[in-house]
């Protein structure tokens, strides 16, 4: 990350300010309380939000709102982050915010979403908790000097835990804590499962007892079923006998009902025979006295010609065509005569305009008149023939109509004779039916005489069936009771089996979890402790190398040595004796803190793989330094080879090696920035 510019409005002692950053060493200098540290707070606020800070610590006193806009680059891609603070009745809160990215444009996001997006852009692998500071940023890029001094004064356990977070290896401790918690939870589950499976033998005994009861009841049920089959057989035989007599009774009742019906049917058929005889007499009279004489009379009418209607019709069409042709020819002659009359009147030939020859022209006229007469005569002849043919056709059609009428009358005669035959056949069938019905009636009247005897027999059988039905009901009730008992025992067996299976599962789970418990307790947790110790030892060695390097540059005293012990506590030795840090001079304390801070920065930068930052921010790094030590700082900064270093200090001597200098002073309570 390279910072390009920062805009702040109503942030602490600033009303409006804009700072354009460049690469190299940038120095912000000014008196204590002028507003230097506010710039660093604004940068951190723009990137990660308030964190654990209160909004009141940033918003200018008396202002209703304020904002920060930070422009920065990561791997050549430019980004802009905007965050705001708003004063409400409930307090000062973060307001609207947005991020401008090269690929996605303007993104309006919540505070948590903005922090998550910035962490992703910077490739900081840490949770996006909006209410916490970025640990990687605080230890890899910017750590206030006083905060670094405080870590040196912590107890060893607190310092180790803080370094775990900074170095992103607290996961080992977390994993061990979680593993121990899991082992305790598994142990509780083992106890729970063992307790639930403790009475499994009692359930197995109950299961055997229930299975024995089922077998005993099944034997009793088999005997009852055999008895039921015997009683059912006897009951069914009685029912069959009753049904047989009932059928006979029903048949006799039906026969008895048929007697009046048969009598009515015989009378109805006799009446129908009388009606049919009357109808045959009427039809016979109609044929003999009306239809047959009329047909004989019509058959005596002679046929008008031997030629067919089609032949005459074709001949008529031919004569009409001839007549039409003659009329057309006569019309042509008449048209020519009209032309001749016009020429005769004008006495000039219309074709050659010469005078006509009257003798020759008169001859032509006479010829045409003769043709006209001949055509007229032929036409009259055709008309006479057509008239004759028309009359003949009418006679033929009349004769055909007469034949149709004869055929119709003949059909009527045939139909009526057929009807007479049908009626005769029907009467014959009716006579047979009447005879059969008389015989049947006589037979039925004889059969119905035993009706009362059958009713007595049915009554006796029904009484016997009733006794057998009571016996049958008792057996079925006993069977139902035994079946219910068997069902209840089977349900109990099923429940016991389910419970035994469940308890067996608890027992298996307990044994299965015990293996995990032993593995976590005896193998996994010790392995994590060994891994963490190895990692911390490796980091400790490298950390010590960096710390000694930076300390030896800042403190040129051959009698003083510095190192980091296994708890990451800085140890200062003077002539072979350890010195307490609180007894060091102010410059020496600052040297220890700066060396420790730079060593931590280098380790975090290396461990946080993929971190995208080329900037280092130092807040009052030279408090208590001598002039010689101030110039030693330049040597350290050159060796760091960091593209962009931002220093906040009140030491004017740092101007000598700063590439960009901003002076900050407070005028009438407001901070102002000027660049040299």
Q: Which residue would you say has higher pLDDT here, 428 or 450?
A: 428
- pLDDT confidence tier of residue 608, bands split at 50, 70 and 90: low
Given this model, what pLDDT does residue 392 score? 83
- pLDDT confidence tier of residue 349, bands split at 50, 70 and 90: low
Question: pLDDT at residue 157 above 80?
Answer: no
Q: Give the chain's radius of gyration (CA, Å).
A: 67
Record the tokens describing residue 146, joined without a space.
């006083």
Mean pLDDT confidence for 424-432: 90
Residues 6+ apart with CB under 8 A from 209: none
Name, of 194-203, 360-369, 666-675, the range with top average pLDDT. 666-675
Paired strand residues for 433: none
Looking at 3.40.50.2300, 3.40.720.10, 3.90.226.10, 3.40.50.300, the CATH number of the domain 2-185+555-675 comes to: 3.40.50.300
Record the tokens describing residue 420, joined without a space.
């007479």
Question: pLDDT at residue 637 above 70?
Answer: yes
Taking only the tens place, the pLDDT of each residue in 33-77 is: 899 999 999 999 999 998 888 888 999 999 999 999 999 999 889
Given this model, what pLDDT does residue 234 score? 82
Domain coordinates of the chain in residue numbers?
2-185+555-675, 201-276+449-497, 285-437
Mean pLDDT confidence for 352-372: 75
Q: 337 φ, ψ to 5°?
A: -60, -40
Record the tokens describing residue 475, joined without a space.
């057996």
pTM above 0.85, yes or no: no
Distance in Å from the first CA to the final CA of the chain: 25
What is the rounded (10 degree) CA torsion for 263, 269, 274, 276? 170
Q: Which residue would you say has higher pLDDT here, 348 or 32?
A: 32
Q: Which residue would you say has higher pLDDT here, 410 or 445?
A: 410
Given this model, what pLDDT does residue 351 score? 63
Mean pLDDT confidence for 11-31: 94
Round to whole Å and give the CA distance between 637 and 598. Answer: 10
CB of 620 within 8 A of CB of 633?
no
Question: pLDDT at residue 352 above 70?
Answer: no
Question: pLDDT at residue 544 above 80?
Answer: yes
Strands of 89-207 (E only): list them. Answer: 91-94, 98-101, 105-108, 142-144
Question: pLDDT at residue 472 above 70?
Answer: yes
Given this model, what pLDDT does residue 613 score? 58
- pLDDT confidence tier of residue 665, bands split at 50, 70 and 90: very high
Residues 6+ apart with CB under 8 A from 176: 525, 528, 529, 532
Round to whole Å and give the CA distance between 243 and 240. Answer: 5
Mean pLDDT confidence for 344-369: 72
Question: pLDDT at residue 473 above 60?
Answer: yes
Taking only the tens place, the pLDDT of each residue in 529-541 is: 888 888 888 888 9
Helix axes 358-447, 200-286, angle to 10 degrees: 120
What is the CB-side half-sphere exposure of residue 410 using CA atoms within 13 A?
A: 11
If one counts every other C-beta atom within 10 angstroms of the C-beta of residue 488, the result is 14
Given this model, what pLDDT does residue 87 score? 93
- pLDDT confidence tier of residue 648, bands split at 50, 70 and 90: very high
Taking only the tens place, the pLDDT of each residue in 83-123 is: 999 999 888 999 889 999 999 999 999 888 899 999 899 88
Round to whole Å and give the CA distance between 148 and 550. Answer: 15
Q: Which of 542, 287, 584 is nearest to 416 (CA)?
A: 287
Question: pLDDT at residue 609 above 60?
Answer: no
Residues 6+ apart with CB under 8 A from 540: 564, 566, 568
Round to whole Å and give the CA distance between 453 and 365. Answer: 129
Q: How many percent of the chain have pLDDT more than 90?
A: 21
Round to whole Å and give the CA distance between 469 and 155. Answer: 99
Q: H/E/C letters for each residue in 453-486?
A: HHHHHHHHHHHHHHHHHHHHHHHHHHHHHHHHHH
Given this model, what pLDDT does residue 452 score? 66
Residues 6+ apart with CB under 8 A from 639: none
Round to whole Å and give the CA distance between 369 and 386. Answer: 26
Question: pLDDT at residue 576 above 70?
Answer: yes
Given this model, what pLDDT does residue 291 score? 81
Question: pLDDT at residue 312 above 90?
Answer: no
DSSP state of 348: B
If one counts every other C-beta atom within 10 angstroms of the C-beta of residue 585, the result is 11
Question: pLDDT at residue 612 above 60?
Answer: no
Question: pLDDT at residue 610 above 60?
Answer: no
- pLDDT confidence tier of residue 356, bands split at 50, 70 and 90: low
Given this model, what pLDDT does residue 298 score? 76
Mean pLDDT of the chain: 85
């Amino acid at each position: 990350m390279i910072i390009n510019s920062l805009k702040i409005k109503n942030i602490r002692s600033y009303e409006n300010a804009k700072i354009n950053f460049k690469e190299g060493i940038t120095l912000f200098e000014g008196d204590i309380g002028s507003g230097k540290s506010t710039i660093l707070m604004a940068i951190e606020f723009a990137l990660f939000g308030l964190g654990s800070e209160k909004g009141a610590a940033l918003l200018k006193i008396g202002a209703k709102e304020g904002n920060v806009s930070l422009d920065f680059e990561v791997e050549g891609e430019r980004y802009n982050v905007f965050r705001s603070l708003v004063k409400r009745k409930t307090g000062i809160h973060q307001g609207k915010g947005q991020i401008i990215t090269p690929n996605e444009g303007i993104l309006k996001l919540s505070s948590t979403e903005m922090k998550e997006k910035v962490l992703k852009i910077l490739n900081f692998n840490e949770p996006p908790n909006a209410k916490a500071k970025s640990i990687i940023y605080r230890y890899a890029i910017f750590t206030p000097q006083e905060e670094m001094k405080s870590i040196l004064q912590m107890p060893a356990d607190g310092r180790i835990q803080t370094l775990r977070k900074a170095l992103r290896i607290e996961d080992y401790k977390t994993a061990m804590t979680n593993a121990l918690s899991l082992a305790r939870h598994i142990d509780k589950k083992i106890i729970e499962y063992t307790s639930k499976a403790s009475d499994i033998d009692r359930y197995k005994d109950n299961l055997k007892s229930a299975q024995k009861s089922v077998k005993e009841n099944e034997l009793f049920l088999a005997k009852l079923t055999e008895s039921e089959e015997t009683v059912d057989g006897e009951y069914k035989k009685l029912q069959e006998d009753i049904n047989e007599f009932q059928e006979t009774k029903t048949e006799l009742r039906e026969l008895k009902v048929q007697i009046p019906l048969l009598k009515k049917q015989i009378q109805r058929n006799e009446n129908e025979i009388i009606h049919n005889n009357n109808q045959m007499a009427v039809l016979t009279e109609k044929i003999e006295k009306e239809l047959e004489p009329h047909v004989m009379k019509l058959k005596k009418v002679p046929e008008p010609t031997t030629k067919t209607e089609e032949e005459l019709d074709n001949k008529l069409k031919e004569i009409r065509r001839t007549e039409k042709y003659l009329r057309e020819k006569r019309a042509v002659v008449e048209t020519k005569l009209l032309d001749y009359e016009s020429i005769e009147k004008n006495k000039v030939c219309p074709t050659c305009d010469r005078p006509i020859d009257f003798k020759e022209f008169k001859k032509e006229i006479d010829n045409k008149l003769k043709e006209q007469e001949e055509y007229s005569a032929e036409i009259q002849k055709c008309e006479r023939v057509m008239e004759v043919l028309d009359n003949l056709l009418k006679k033929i059609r009349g004769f055909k109509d007469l034949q149709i009428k004869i055929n119709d009358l003949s059909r009527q005669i045939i139909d009526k004779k057929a009807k007479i035959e049908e009626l005769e056949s029907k009467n014959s069938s009716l006579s047979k039916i009447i005879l059969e019905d008389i015989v049947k009636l006589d037979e039925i009247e004889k059969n119905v005489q035993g009706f009362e005897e059958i009713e007595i027999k049915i009554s006796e059988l029904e009484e016997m069936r009733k006794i057998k039905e009571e016996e049958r009901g008792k057996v079925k009730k006993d069977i139902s009771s035994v079946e219910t008992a068997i069902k209840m025992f089977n349900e109990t067996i099923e429940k016991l089996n389910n419970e035994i299976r469940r308890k067996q599962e608890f027992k298996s789970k307990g044994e299965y979890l015990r293996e995990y418990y032993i593995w976590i307790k005896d193998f996994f947790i010790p392995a994590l402790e060994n891994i963490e110790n190895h990692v911390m030892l490796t980091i400790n060695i490298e950390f010590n190398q960096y710390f000694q390097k930076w300390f030896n540059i800042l403190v040129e005293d051959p009698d003083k040595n510095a190192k980091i012990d296994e708890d990451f506590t800085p140890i200062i030795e003077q002539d072979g004796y350890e010195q307490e840090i609180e007894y060091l001079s102010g410059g020496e304390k600052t040297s220890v803190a700066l060396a420790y801070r730079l060593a931590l920065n280098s380790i975090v930068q290396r461990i946080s793989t993929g971190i995208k930052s080329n900037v280092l921010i130092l807040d009052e790094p030279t408090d208590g330094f001598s002039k010689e030590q101030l110039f030693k700082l330049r040597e350290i900064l050159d060796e760091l080879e960091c593209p962009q270093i931002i220093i906040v200090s009140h030491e004017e001597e740092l101007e000598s090696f700063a590439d960009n200098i901003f002076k900050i002073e407070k005028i009438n309570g407001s901070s102002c920035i000027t660049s040299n």
